[in-house]
Amino acid sequence: MGVGDAVKNLVIRNLSKTYFDVYAGTQVTAVRDVSLNVPESEFISIVGPSGCGKSTILNMIAGFIPHSSGEILVGGKPVNGPGPDRGVVFQSFALFPWRTVLENVAFGPKMRGVGKVEREKIAHEFLALAKLSEAAGRYPNELSGGMQQRVGVARALANEPDVLLMDEPFASVDAQTRMTLQEELTRIWEAKRPTVIFITHDVAEAVFLANRVVALSKGKVLDEIEVDLPRPRVWDDLHENEQFKSLTARVLQLVRSA
Amino acid sequence: MTKRSFISALWFCAPFAVLIVLWAILIPYFDVNPRLFPHLTAVVQAGIEGIQDGTLVQHIGASLLRVAVGTLLALLVAIPLGVAMGVSPVVSTFLTPLFRFFSVLAGIAWIPIATLWFGYGFGAITFIIFNAVFFIVTYNTLLGVSTIPLHVRNAAASLGAGRWAMLTEVLLPGALPNIVTGIRTGMGFAWRGLIAAEMIATNVGLGYMLFVARDFYKTEVIVLGMIVIGVLWLLLDRLLLAPIERATIERWGMVQRA
Amino acid sequence: MKTFFLTIWSGYVRLTARWPSIGSIAPFIPLIAAWWIITELQIFPRVFLPGPVDVVRSFGTLVYTGILPEYLQDSMVRLVVGAFWGIVLGIPLGIFIGLSPRAHTVLWPPLLFFQAIGDIAWLPILVIWFGYGLTTMTVIIVYTVIFPVVLNTVLGVRSTSITLHRAALSLGASRARLLWEVVLPGALPNIITGLRNGLGYGWRALIATEIIVGTSGIGFLMFDARRGGSLVEVLLGMIILGILWYIVDAWILAPLERATGQRWGLVTQ
Ligand SMILES: Nc1ncnc2c1ncn2[C@@H]1O[C@H](COP(=O)(O)OP(=O)(O)OP(=O)(O)O)[C@@H](O)[C@H]1O
Ligand SMILES: [Mg+2]
C-alpha cells in the first residue's frame, strides 16, 4: 500500500477507554491497550464474553464515544465523531420507525446530498442485494426481526462506507434466520468486499464469517486466529468440515481459558 | 372506501337524529317551561337569528381566533424549547419535574393572574390558551426527544447526518407522537379554559354568549351555544387532531394505544 | 473541568436514586431563587409580581386565620365526591357499552358529543336549574370525570382479547365470574388512565366553577383575591393547587397506572 492512497484500512494503536460511572461515582476501565491492524477488505470478528468491552471498542471506532488514550485511524485519518466513512449495523436494528424501508436505506445518500431519483435507485439496488425488494414501501414495525436487520445491513452498505461495523447484529433473531443471515452476509461481503468488524459472542458465527478472529477478554486482546476456510461458505458444507470444527474448538478454548 | 365511510358517518349521526326527535316531541308534550329548557324550534330560530344578524358568527370567530393565535404562539415557542432541552439527558432529567409541575397547573388556574397582568380582554384569554398548550407541549416534546433511543440518534450520525438533519430527520419525527398527544391534551384544556375565561373576562366569544344569556334566562341561546361548542370541538379533535395522531403514530408502531 | 462537572452530576444522580423526592424538588430551587432575585430587584412592580417571602407570609396568615384549611377542605371534598360518583356511574356504564355492540352503536356518538361540549359550558344552564351552590358544582365535576372514565373503560373492555374470554369460559367460568375475573382486570389499566385524565379535567373544572359561582374553595380564594387586587393570594392559590395536584398525580395516579399497566404488560408506551 503506497503512502497517500485512499485505502479503506483500519488501524488501532494502544487504544484504552476509562468510563466514569455516574451511578457508582467511580472510574471503570473497559478497554486496555488494544492494538489491531485491519487491512482493506478484510472481515474480522471480535469474540469475547459479555462485558469484555466489545461494544466499547466498536463505539469508539464508530465515534459514538471518545477514547481515553491511543489512536484510531480509518484510511489513515484519525477518528473524531461519527461519520459516513464508517457504517454501523446495530443489534437493536436502530431503523427510523417514521421512515419506510426504502427511505431508511436511502438515508445515507440523502445526507450526502444525492437527489431523490438517484438515491432511490441506490436504495433499490441495495434492497435487492438484501433480498428485500418487496418490502420497500413498508414501515420497519411491519417487518419481522430478520427482515429489519437486513434493512439495517442494506442501509449501512448503501452509504458505501470504508469500514462496516457490526455489533452483534444477529443476536436477536431466531436460530434458522440467523444462519440464513450469516450466509447472506458472506455473500454480500464477497460481492462488495467492504472492510468489516463484526462483534459477537457466538464463536461458531465468528469463525463462519471471518478471515480472522480476535479473542477478547476483560478489555484485552488474547490472541488472533487466521481463518482460511474456502469461500463461498454455507452451513451445509461447514457443519461437517473438520477444519471448521477444530478452529471453532480452538477459539472456544481460548475464550474460556481466560 | 368512500361508501364505507359514508355509511359509518350515517351510523354516527343516527343516534343524534333520535335525540333530536325526542327533544322535539317530549319538551312540548310535558310543557316544559322555556326558562328551564328551550324548545327545539326556539334553538333553531336563535341559530338562524344569530347567523342573520352576525352575532353568532362574531362570537365563534372571536373564540376561534383566540384559540388559533394562542395555540400557534405556544407551539412556536414550545417545540424548539422542548427539543433543545430534550437532547441533553442531564438537562432533561433535571428539568422534567419542573415542566411536569407547570403542565399540571396549565390553563384555568391562570385565569385570575392573567386578568391582572393583561387586563380583561383578548390578551388575558389568549394567554390562558397559550399557557395551557405551551407547558403541556413543552413537557411532551422534552419527554419525546429524551426517549428517542440513543442508538437511533447514533445511526443517523454515522450515516452522515449533521445538526440540521438530526433535528428534522430524527429528533422532530421521533418526538412527534408525544408532540401530537401533547397538542391534543393541551388544546383540550385550552378549549375549556377558553370557555371559562370568556365567561369571566370579555365581552365577545362563545363563553360570553352563554353567560350573558343566563342573565336573561334565554335558555335557547345557552343550548345553542353548547351545541356549537360541542360540534366545534368534535370537528377540531376528530377531523384534525385524532387523524394526525393515528396516521403517524399507529403506522410507525411507536405507540400502541387507544 | 469536565470531570468536576461529572462528579457533581454523579453525586446528584446517586442522591436522587436513593431519595427520588429530592429529584422532584431540586429543580424548583433555582426557579424560586430567580423569582426571589427578580422581585428583590423590583424589575416588575410588586403589585404585579410579589416575591416568595410575601407568599409564604400570606400562607402563614391564611393558615392561622383558618381560611386556607377550610377552603382547601371544601375543594377537596367537592373533588372527592365528584370523583366518587364519576367512578361509581362511569365504570358500570363503560362495561355495559363495551360488552354490548348494540349499546355501543347507539351510545358512543352521543358520548363523544357530550364530552365535547365540556364541563364549563354547562355552567350557565346548571346555574339556572340548581342555582349557585353545591349541586351545580357536584354535577359539573361528575360530568367532567365520568366521560374519560366511560370512554376509556369501553376501550379497555373492547380490547380484552376474545381468546381470554374463551379460555375463561372453557375453564368453567360463569358469565358473572367472567366479568369479575377477566373483563374487569383486563380493562383496569384503561380505567385508571381514564380516571387520571378525568381527574385532570375535573379539578380544572372545579377551579373554574369556584371562580365563577363559588362561595368558598381555592378557586374562590384566588378570584376573591384578584378582585381585591392582591396578587399574593392568587399566587399562593396557584402554588397550592400545583403542589396538591402534583402529589396526587405523580405519587398516586401515575404509579397506580404504571403498576397495573406496565406490570401486566398491557399498556405499551
Ligand atoms: N456508559 C458506561 N458507563 C460505565 N461503564 C460502562 C458503560 N458502558 C459500558 N460500561 C462497562 O464497560 C464494560 C464493557 O462493556 P461493553 O458494553 O463494551 O461490553 P460487551 O463486551 O459489549 O458486552 P455484551 O456482550 O454484553 O454486549 C462493562 O463492564 C460495562 O459495565
Ligand atoms: Mg455489547
Put simply, the chain C residues between 178 and 217 with a CB less than 8 A from any chain B CB are 190, 200-201, 204-205, 207-208, 211-212
Residue C205 lies in a domain: yes
Q: Which range marks the domain in which residue C188 is found?
A: 52-263
Could you tell me the distance, in angstroms and rounded to a whole number, from the CA of residue A254 to the centre of ligand 1? Answer: 21
Using CA atoms, how far residue C263 sits from A63, C160, C192, in Å, is 37, 16, 14
CATH number, position C179: 1.10.3720.10
Residue C90 lies in a domain: yes
Separation between Cα atoms, residue C231 and residue C237, nearest integer Å: 10
Separation between Cα atoms, residue B114 and residue B110, nearest integer Å: 6
Do A23 and C14 make contact, defined as CB atoms within 8 angstroms?
yes
Question: In the numeric block, which cell numbers belong to residue B221?
Answer: 341561546
Per-residue pLDDT of A114-126, as tens digits, reads 999 999 999 999 9
Q: Is A34 in the pocket of ligand 1 (CB under 6 A)?
A: no
Do A87 and B173 make contact, defined as CB atoms within 8 angstroms?
no
Could you tell me the distance, in angstroms and rounded to a whole number, from the CA of residue A59 to the centre of ligand 2? Answer: 9
Asked if pLDDT for residue A250 goes beyond 70, the answer is yes
Number of domains within chain C: 1
Instruction: Determine the longest span between alpha carbons in chain B, in angstroms.
Output: 75
Residues A196, A199, A200, CA angle at the centre, nearest 5°?
Answer: 135
Sign of the Cα torsion A100, A101, A107, A110 reads negative
Contacts of B237 in chain C (CB under 8 A): 116
Residue C33 lies in a domain: no
Q: Considering only alpha carbons, which residue of chain B is nearest residue A63?
A: B158
Residue C35 lies in a domain: no
Residue C223 lies in a domain: yes
Put simply, the chain A residues between 9 and 28 with a CB less than 8 A from any chain C CB are 20-23, 25
Separation between Cα atoms, residue A46 and residue A206, nearest integer Å: 7
Per-residue pLDDT of C210-233, as tens digits, reads 888 878 888 888 888 888 888 888
Residue C10 lies in a domain: no
- Contact call for residues B47 and B56 (beta carbons, < 8 A): yes
C131 phi and psi, to 5 degrees?
75, 180
Is the reported ipTM for this assembly greater than 0.95? no
Could you tell me the distance, in angstroms and rounded to a whole number, from the CA of residue B242 to the centre of ligand 1? Answer: 42
- Contact call for residues B154 and A64 (beta carbons, < 8 A): yes
Residues C192, B185, A95, CA angle at the centre, nearest 5°?
Answer: 90
Print burial letters for B76-86: b (CB count within 10 Å at least 16), e (below 16): eebbebbbbbb
Q: Is A217 in the pocket of ligand 1 (CB under 6 A)?
A: no
The alpha-carbon radius of gyration of chain C (Å, integer) is 23
Contacts of C200 in chain B (CB under 8 A): 104
- Contact call for residues A55 and A167 (beta carbons, < 8 A): yes
The closest CB to that of B211, out of C124, C237, C268, belongs to: C124
The closest CB to that of A20, out of C6, C11, C17, belongs to: C6
Could you tell me the distance, in angstroms and rounded to a whole number, from the CA of residue A146 to the centre of ligand 1? Answer: 25
Do A97 and B154 make contact, defined as CB atoms within 8 angstroms?
no
Q: Tens of pLDDT along chain C (269 residues)?
A: 777 888 888 888 888 888 878 888 888 899 999 999 988 888 888 777 888 888 899 899 888 888 889 988 988 888 888 889 988 999 999 999 988 888 888 888 888 888 888 888 888 888 888 888 888 888 999 999 999 999 989 988 887 766 666 777 677 677 777 777 778 888 888 888 888 888 888 888 888 888 888 788 888 888 888 888 888 888 899 898 888 888 887 777 777 777 765 545 443 33
Size of interface B-C (CB pairs under 8 A): 168
Contacts of C6 in chain A (CB under 8 A): 20, 22
Contacts of B162 in chain A (CB under 8 A): 111
Question: In the numeric block, which cell numbers belong to residue A78?
Answer: 484519525
Q: What is the pTM for the complete model shown?
A: 0.84
The closest CB to that of B151, out of A90, A139, A141, belongs to: A90
Contacts of A25 in chain C (CB under 8 A): 7, 10-11, 14
Could you tell me the distance, in angstroms and rounded to a whole number, from the CA of residue A30 to the centre of ligand 1? Answer: 7
Residue C6 lies in a domain: no
Q: Which amino acid is at C27?
A: P
Residues contacting A100, CB < 8 A, separation 6+: A136, A137, A138, A139
Per-residue pLDDT of A17-32, as tens digits, reads 999 888 888 889 999 9
Separation between Cα atoms, residue B212 and residue B231, nearest integer Å: 21
Residue C46 lies in a domain: no
Q: Which residue has the cell 380564594?
A: C221
